[in-house]
Each structure stands twice: as C-alpha cells, then as structure tokens.
Structure 1
Amino acid sequence: MPQVRRFARPTSFALALTLGVAIGNAWAQEPPASTAPAPEAAPAQNKAPLPLDELRTFAEVLDRIKAAYVEPVDDKTLLENAIKGMLSNLDPHSAYLEPEAFAELQESTSGEFGGLGIEVGVEDGFIKVVSPIDDTPASKAGIEAGDLIVKIDGQPTKGLSMMEAVEKMRGKPGSKITLTLVREGGKPFDVELTRAVIKVKSVKSQLLEPGYGYIRITQFQINSGEEVGKALARLKKDNGGKKLNGLVLDLRNNPGGVLQAAVEVSDHFLTKGLIVYTKGRIANSELRFSADPADASEGVPLVVLINGGSASASEIVAGALQDHKRGVLMGTDTFGKGSVQTVLPLNNDRGLKLTTALYYTPNGRSIQAQGIEPDIEVGRAKLTREQDGENFREADLQGHLGNGNGGEDKPSSKQKERSKDPRPQDDDYQLGQALNLLKGLSVTRGE
C-alpha cells in the first residue's frame, strides 16, 4: 500500500471524527519513487542507543499492572494503550490508528461517509467544532465553528480523549444523537441531530451577477482541482462566453483535504512560481510544488474569502495566492495548521500517523500556530434590511419638470422589484463585501 502524506488540522486539535463527523486533515498520495523515495531513518551514526533503563522500567510497569491491577488486563490492550499514549504526547496530530480508524481515514477524501458533517478537535479538554460542512445535518442544525461540545447524549465531554469522543459520536445513519453546545461563553443548549451518510460536493459555483462568479470549495477532495477547472469554464459559459469581470473564491470553514487538490486549485490561478514547499527530517519530506504556465482563470480579478475555519490545505491555497499577489484575501485569520502528517501502514490493517514536516508558503512563511491574515479584515455580521420608505421624490410632484435629456421619470411608486430568487450575497455580509470590492476594481479599470 502506498504511503500517504497528510496535512492535518490546526494546533490543539487531534484526529477528527469519521462516522460521527468528517475527517479534516489533508491527504496527498506519495510522489513516484523517482522523485521522492520512501521515508528513510536517520543515518546509523546519528541513532542514539536504546534507552535500556527506561525499557526496563516500562517492562516493570507492565508486569506490575498485570499482576496487581484490580481486574485482569491482557497484554494486547496494555501495549496498544502504551502506543497510543506515546504518540498522543508528541503533538495533537500524531496518532496510532486501529483498523477501523485507519480505514475511515482513507475513505474520508472520497466525498462520502457516515456521520454528522462536522470537523472537531480538542481544546482545553473540551471537544470543539472546527467547522461544519455544507449541506450536512450539522450545518442544517445551525452548528457553528468555535462551538464547544460539552455533552454527548447527556454525558460530559470534559476530560475525554479524542478517540473516546469519536466512539461516543459514531453511530449508524438514521440514529439520533443530542449534542450540548456552548457558544461564545453563553448558556449551554441542546441540538438533536440524525446521523446520515454524508455526501460532500466539494465544489459549488454560480454567477452572483452578470460578469461576477462565485466558487465555493467545502473541502479538498481528490477531484477538487478538476472540479474547479470545470467550474471556471462553466461560469464563463454562463456569462455568455465572455471573460468574467471578477470572481470570489470561498474557502471559509474549509477544513482542508487532499494536498494535490490544493496545489491544483492554486495552479488554476497562477502561471509561474512556487505554490508550497515542505521541510522535515526524513528524505521525502522535502517537497516543492510549482505552477505551470496554463491559466484556467484567465487572470480574472480574484477575492478569496477566509475565516477561522479555513485550515490546512485551505491555508496553502490562500497563502500561495497572497504571496503571489494574485488575489485579495478578505475575512478573518485562518486556523493556523501548518504541519505535515505521514500515514504509515503497519501490520494487521493498522496505521501510524506521524508528524514529519512543516509546510511553507512561497515566501517562506510557516503557517503553523499563526495562520494566514487577510488583506482586508471583514468579520461576520448579520444583515437586517430596512424597508424602503414611500417618501416623495421630485418625480412624484404634480407638474414636475422632465429630465431634459430624455431620461425616464423615477417616482417612488416605481421601486425596483427584488429578485424572487435569493442570491448568496443578499444574506452574506462578507460575500457582499467581496462582490463590492470586485465591482470597485472593475470601475477603476474602466470595464
């Protein structure tokens, strides 16, 4: 089985759930052997001798537990728990994967899995929502990034390990689960959800207005790069075959995904230069990805929306476009996950997920624990619309003068009718601001 390189979730977050929620780390298939050999250990002369005293202590503890613990414990359980503890104390992203978790991890980028549709992690002993996934039970129930899950089916989550929380949140599609949430320090409230088979469409697109396109990537799946290319072609077709005046690329609440997809998406908007590179200790952790000259976006003016739920592969795309000054980043700071995990298959269908490198933007910025800052900070806001008043206008006055240039009178009674079809920008303040910026840029260019 080929080795897999994975960009995991941000700092302080452990392995995301699968059957209970989605996995949110970024996968990338290992490059061909000619360009990236299998992981190599450090040279023999650099290896430290085995810590015999510590190993003796470990063996003694194992023996004492087996002999004196209140209930019998088998060797397999003790040794697997020891392995889990050894990895969990390295960093939040390294983990020992038992067969079920290993299989689910590999399935997570296919775009279909069972669960609630939320990315989660651990923060200060609590389970925290990183981001809900569009069109899933979690997003439809109104769960938001940053919510703390304080109870699962009435049982407190404080002090639970990530894997224990995973087990509690897993279940068959159609079964119900109640999460008790705390939002922004408020009072706890319950949300009942029904587990479902999550089918995530990673790329969505539409024209916001004639000449202005919108592409949302919910997570980076294996085919997301190809889907973005198709979306760009479709938007041009919908625009009467004309080049767009502007495009919004929405990466908000995108928890990451496949590394190659992030590279391919970036490449659709770049014609040269570095996209991302990684640095680590093992031989094949030194990887570099560069853009090719093709430009599927035709140089369209670009605004990229980001927020605290944008992580991992999303930050690769945002960082590359920002460093190359290809687009304007708008929104709030991203999550700040910049480490690379390599998933190594072990015996008996198990796996080892180990942090092996950090990734860097083209200008050499490490995103780890810092994130990407937007060029223009625009926070979330709720839109409330004032009703247009029926105030008199000049055109309402009896006997008013005509325009003089032949322009049609515009009395108050002839207000423009609102479109019956709701548009995304009507109720999304950040998206509306991105569209306004693109329009402003279009005006200054004289288009």
Structure 2
Amino acid sequence: MKKLVVTLALSLLGATAFAQPLSPEAKTRTLETLQQAIARRAFVPGVDFSKLPDALEKRRAELDKAEDMRAFSNTVNQVLRDFGISHIRLFTPAAAQQRRTGQAIGFGLGMAPAPDGLAVSTLAPGSHAAGVGLAIGDVITEVEGKPAGNNPTSVDQDGRETSLITVKRKADGAQKHVMLLRKPYSTIRKPTLTWPAPGVARFTLPSFTNGYSQPEVDALFAEVAKAKAKALIVDLRNNGGGLVNNSAHLLSLLLPPGTPTGCSVTRQMVAEYKEKTGKESSDPIEVAKWKGPDRKTTLRKLPPYQGKVVVLINRGSASASEIVSSVLREERKSLVIGQPSAGAVLTSIFAPLPTGFEVQLPLSDYITPKGVRLEKNPIKPDVEVANALPAKEEASDPCVLAALKALTK
C-alpha cells in the first residue's frame, strides 16, 4: 500500500476528467474496500460509522444505475455527506491523480453560489477560463441557455468538453457569452509577497499542499524581516487547507517556540480519557480540556515575525487555514477580516483503494488552544467585508483595504 499522507482538506478547481465507464465488479470491489477502510480507520468523536453499510444499501438503486466513475463517486459522496462532517470523500482515479500531481483537465475555475447565479471565486492560471478573460467576481447567469442556479456542477454537467455560459462582468455589469473548453492546466499556486502600502507586506497563500515549499516560504519571510515590515497581512482567502506540517511551519514563523496551537482529539485519546477518568465522552472539547494542547510551535532558523498581523479569510478558507487563523487570533490577538470560514476542520489521510479510487478518511477532531471546536463552526471575522473575494488589482481589493484601515488604528 502506498504511503498515507496526513493532510487537511483542500479545495480542487474545476472538473477532473471525462466520464469513465465502471463495471459492476469494480463497483462492488470499491464499495467493499471503502467500507473496510472507513470501519478500520475513520474516527470523529460522536460519529457512528457503523451505519455506513445500511446507508449505502438505501442508495443501492442509484449505485447500480451509475454507469461511470464520476456518477458512482457522486452517489457515494451523497451518502458520506449524510454523516454531517467534512473530510470524508471518495475520489475518482482522475481526481486522485489531480490531487497528487496538481495537474488537471477541465475549465479551470471555482464557483460559489451568488444571488443571481454562480460567482467565479477562483481561476487557475493557464486554464481556458483564465485565458478567455473571466475575472474573479464575475457571475455566471446562464449555462447552455438555462439559468445557472446555485449548483457549480451545472457548468460541467456530465464532464462535457465545452460549456456555453453567459457571464455578467463584475467590472462594468455588462453581459457576454463565453464558450469554455476543457484543457489541461495546473492547479499548483505558489505563495506570493506584495507590498500594498509602505511598511506593510501581504503574504498570499493559496494552499498548504501543492505549491507550498517550506524553503520558499522561509525566503519570503526573510524578505519581510529584511525590509523591517511593521505589519503583515496573511491572506488565506480561498485556501482550502493542506498538509498539517505546513500549517505548523507557518505558525512557527509567526509565533514564539512552544506556543500552544491546539489539540488533536484522536480515538486513542478518547480511550485514554475513559481509562483515566472512568467516564465516557463523545465531546471533543471535554476531552481536549482534560488532555491539554498537544500541538506547539517549534524553533526555526528564522526568528518569528514580531510586527502586527492581520488575517484575511472567506468561505473558501477551510481546515488548515481555519486552524492558522484561529491560533493567530487567540495567541497573537491578530484581527481576522473578511467573511466567515468554511467550518471544516478535521485531520485526515488519503488512502488508495485497489480499484484506483481514493478515499479521504478523518482521523481526529481539532480543538483550538482556547477550547473552540471549528468543525461545523465557521470562524466569524472581527471585521466583516461584504465582498471577500480576492480582487485582480490589490489597490481595489476590499479586504486588503479593510486590513490597511485596521492597521492604522
């Protein structure tokens, strides 16, 4: 079996592949190994995964009807979503490959529901969507001549090769018709450093996984230190999470060594709690309070940044981004600006299945140093901004402007 990588959830841009046929035998084998993996490894306090076989059986007709990998995985994921938690998902072989390599075939845009359609929330550099001039904040009002609704899959229904959309431009409100084409593109987005005001640096981090290089992040923070920046904006908007080690690395660049960064409530910790206290509890907050923080920052070659820190988040900020945001607010008194986060914070692994599929398995819950559970509990910003999507021009970005205003107080 391939090495399992401990990770936090990440967001994927666009569609991953064309419809691929799936035999009845492959379906059966996938479901068998999926249930075995979840029964053996998945853990979230208070969640009963033993109900999975019955839940799948209720969807038997839909599973039998699914003729390709995508339809099959969508049906399975509907079942998994009924557990009411994040970080449990079945990936098709193509989606799993995209996650591992950062290479995809699709339109290359992320979307979020908007009052009049679907707002473009992310654009992959080099994708067809970026090439035809779409911009973040543009709203897709129609797909193939029909109202777009609020379901992002309408743009890529059945893995189609093209999609004719009607877009209302954010810049001037004008409408235009665009034909999207499915093409290869990279989902890897690297962190950047800009200077929106004298003495104020903006560190933009798109992901804690593909594109996150600890030496490169160290180099950017060394540049901040060399310039003696008086303030730092940490932009985690649309950052869906990633590797645990990378979030720990970033926190160690912003906080003194030994600073508590939270507690991971595992199956073993819950069992230990029962053994030591004689009580059973499915409340991760209670268990974490008993155990105390088991995560702390570490000493790095570069001293932690000492200036003011402001954090930007939105609904696309999930998992590792939420951990970093909450820890900086609790331990550094950093202001959080933008929109409420995703509320999806569990530690998980990705495990390959024999049929080429991959399953994301939650292994533990997370509690902040001050005893807050973030799963299903989005972070509420200190300063809320109506439009928290990143703007193409930094000088007109509402969240950046709000951060600069807050830093002058």
Category of TM-score, reference length = shorter chain: 0.5 to 0.7
**Distance in 1 of aligned mates of 2:187 and 2:247:** 20
Assess, with a 3 A threshold, how the Cα gap between structure 1 residues 167 and 325 changes in structure 2: closer, same or farther. Answer: same
Distance change (3 Å), C-alpha of 1:153 and 1:232: same
> Residue type of the partner of 1:90?
F
2:100 corresponds to: 106
Which residue in the other structure is 1:207 paired with?
195
**1:203-223 deviation line (CA, Å, top 9, x unaligned):** 111233442222111222253
Looking at structure 1, the residues matched to 199 and 52 of structure 2 have their Cα atoms a distance apart, in angstroms, of 66
TM-fit CA distance, 1:372: 1.3
1:292 equivalent in structure 2: 298
Task: Measure, in 2, the Cα distance between the counterparts of 1:334 and 1:189.
Answer: 31
Deviation at 1:365, TM superposition (A): 1.4
Question: Match for residue 249 of structure 1?
Answer: 234
Partners in 2 of 1:341 and 1:313 — Cα distance?
11
Maintained 8 Å contact 2:108/2:185? no
Q: 1:131–1:255: 8 Å Cα contact kept in structure 2?
A: no
Query: Does structure 2 conserve the Cα–Cα contact (< 8 Å) formed by 1:342 and 1:356?
Result: yes
Q: Provide, for residues 331-373 of structure 1, a one-character-per-residue CA deviation record: whole Å limited to 9, x for no partner.
A: 2322222234432222132222234433232222122233112
Report 1:115-194 matches (<5 A).
115-120=106-111, 131-133=121-123, 135=125, 137=127, 138=129, 140-144=133-137, 152-154=143-145, 168-169=158-159, 171=161, 176-180=162-166, 190-194=177-181
2:251 aligned residue? 266
Q: Choose the corresponding residue for 1:228, options 217, 221, 244.
A: 217
In structure 1, what is the Cα distance between the partners aligned to 2:335 and 2:135? 29
Q: What TM-score, normalized to structure 1?
A: 0.61
1:206, 1:215 within 8 Å by CA — same for their partners in 2? yes
Tell me what 1:277 maps to.
263
**SS of structure 2 residue aligned to 1:262:** helix
* Higher helix proportion (structure 1 or 2): 2
Change over 3 Å in CA distance of 1:216–1:348 after alignment to 2: same
The DSSP-based 3-state class of the residue aligned with 1:103 is helix
Tell me how far apart the structure 2 counterparts of residues 48 and 306 of structure 1 sit (CA, whole Å). Answer: 32
CA 49–424 in structure 1, closer or farther in 2 if over 3 Å, else same: closer
1:266 is matched by which residue type in structure 2? L
Q: Which has the higher contact order (CA 8 A, sep 6+)?
A: 2
- Aligned with 1:370 (options 368, 377, 385): 377
Q: How does 1:328-407 map to 2 (within 5 A)?
A: 328-380=335-387
Given that 2:240 and 2:321 are in contact with CA atoms closer than 8 Å, whether structure 1 keeps it comes out as yes
Match of 1:432 among 389, 401, 404: 401
Does the 8 A contact of 1:202 with 1:221 survive in 2?
no
CA spacing shift, 1:80–1:311, aligned 2, 3 Å: closer
Cα offset, 1:273, TM superposition: 1.9
String of CA shifts for 1:103-133, please: whole Å, max 9, x gaps. Answer: 223224xxx444333345899xx99668314
Give the secondary-structure state (helix, strand or coil) at the position aligned to 2:253. Answer: helix
Deviation string 1:358-416 (CA, Å, 9 cap, x unpaired) is: 3232222122233112223344399xxxxxxxxxxxxxxxxxxxxxxxxxxxxxxxxxx
- Residue number in structure 2 paired with 1:320: 327
CA distance in 1, matches of 2:262, 2:74: 36
Change in Cα spacing, 1:283 to 1:144, as seen in structure 2 (3 Å) is farther
RMSD (Å) for aligned C-alpha atoms: 4.9
**Contact (CA 8 Å) 1:270, 1:326: kept in 2 or not?**
no
Q: Residues 208 and 253 from structure 1, CA distance in 2 versus in 1: closer, same or farther, beyond 3 angstroms?
A: same
> What secondary structure, in the 3-state scheme, does the structure 1 residue paired with 2:234 have?
strand
Shift of 1:196: 4.9
The alpha-carbon distance between structure 1 residues 429 and 377, as it changes in their structure 2 partners (threshold 3 A), is: same
Structure index of larger Rg = 1
How far has the Cα of 1:280 moved from its partner?
Answer: 4.4
- How far apart, CA to CA, are the structure 2 residues paired with 1:336 and 1:221? 19
Distance of aligned partners of 1:77 and 1:204 in 2 relative to their CA distance in 1, 3 Å threshold: closer
Q: Is the 8 A contact 1:115 1:170 kept in 2?
A: no
C-alpha distance 426-314 of structure 1, shift in aligned 2 (>3 A):
same
Q: Quick check: 1:19–1:170 contact (8 Å CA) kept in 2?
A: no
Question: Any unmatched runs of 5+ in structure 2?
Answer: 18-39, 271-283
* Match of residue 87 from structure 1: 80
Task: Provide the rounded CA distance (Å) in 2 between the counterparts of 1:170 and 1:334.
Answer: 31
Corresponding letter in the other structure for 1:310? S
* C-alpha distance in structure 2 between counterparts of 1:315 and 1:351, whole Å: 25
Superposition TM-score, scaled by structure 2 size: 0.65
Q: Secondary structure at the match of 1:269?
A: coil
Separation (CA, whole Å) in 1 of partners of 2:205 and 2:398: 18
Cα displacement (A) at 1:86: 4.4
Q: 1:437 to 1:181 in 2, by over 3 A?
A: same
Tell whether the 8 Å contact from 1:6 to 1:259 is kept in structure 2 after alignment.
Answer: yes
What do residues 132-173 of structure 1 show as CA deviations (whole Å, max 9, x unaligned)? Answer: 14646556502439x6x67654577779896x97664565xx
CA distance in 1, matches of 2:306, 2:149: 49
